Amino acid sequence: MTVSLSAIAQQLGAELKGSDAQVSAMATLAEACGGDLSLCLDRRHLSALRQTRAAAVLIPAARASWAEEAPGSVLLVKEPRLAMAQTLAILYPPALIKPGVCPGALVDASAEVHAQARIEPGACVGPGTIVGAGTLVESGVVLGPEVVVGAACRLGANCVVRKGCRLGDRVHLASGVVIGARGFGVAVGPDGPLSIPQVGTVVIEDDVEIGANSTVDRATLGVTRIGRGSKIDNLVQVGHNVQIGKHVLIAAQVGLAGSVEIGDAVVMGGQAGVADHVKVGARAQIGGKAGVTSAVAAGERVAGFPAIPVRQWLRQQWRLRKPAKHKTASNQGEKK
């Protein structure tokens, strides 16, 4: 898609310095050529900025002096990463789907597939399931009985959404995601472990994105819920009865045990884990690899295992890495 710099500047609320031009792609400073838009967010990239062949470069407004180093035009933006995301969305809009049920798709006669939805070959839509307008169901997807999928969703190849689960509008599931698998509930009896039937469901609210091969288990009773606008990375495990708030960000390989509560706008680093029934307050930040075993207050930042406030954890790490001071005989006052 080809767009003028002035049009991009208008949509971003950016200041255009230099001549207007048409751009059709975004590339790194080193790889960009004429017709490309690039970005420079760090002082370490100034040498690449001077040599870039990009038609224009996004630069933080707080670093407006860098514009003098750019050989081409510059767009000064207030929030660089947000501007990058918005620009990529302008230059690379989602491909339009060709609606219809493709040959080779298996759609139960009692299912309701909107005329503007697309079901690709090899997908399976179960009895009583509803698929909304503009939704793409890629090859190998299995939608179990009585599933509800909203409008404008994207279900990647080989996703599984099991019986009775509900997806809101504009939900994106990457390849291999499993929604509604049996939660891990076990009772120990005289004859060994006994699996507890998991008869609840999963609700995924509007505008949620879930990365490849992540899993969201159904509730034992009631609902496992992921709140509106939350973004979940690849290889994340969400246990049964977990409640995730709105606009939560969860990086790869995080594990949430059963009945965890995650408040709105929480950020979780990669490979962090939260023990069962623990509550994490709104806007809290969990460091990568942290092990959260007790409640985290709203707005608190924690790290380490067991997770403790970040400042305390940093002091501990400093003490552990501080070279040992060996006392000499003289400063010990030892007598010969």
Q: From the centroid of its chain, how far is CA 303?
A: 20
Backbone CA torsion sign across 128, 129, 132, 134: negative
> Which one, of 114, 71, 83, lies nearest residue 9 by Cα?
83
Classified as helix, coil or strand, 280 is strand
Alpha helices in 68-189 (DSSP H): 80-91
Three-state DSSP state, 260: coil
Give the active site residue among 45, 114, 240, 247.
240
Compute the distance between CA of residue 246 and CA of residue 69 in angstroms, rounded to an integer. 41
Known catalytic residue at 240? yes
How many CB atoms neighbour CB 259 within 10 A? 19
**∠ at Cα 263 (257, 267), nearest 5°?**
80
The closest of 77, 83, 88 to 36, measured between CA atoms, is: 88
Sequence-distant (6+) residues with CB within 8 A of 127 are 108, 109, 110, 111, 145, 146
Query: Per residue in 222-235, is it b (16+ CB within 10 Å) or e — as a string?
Result: eebbbbbbbbbbbb
Q: Cβ(121)–Cβ(98) under 8 Å?
A: no
Catalytic residues: 240
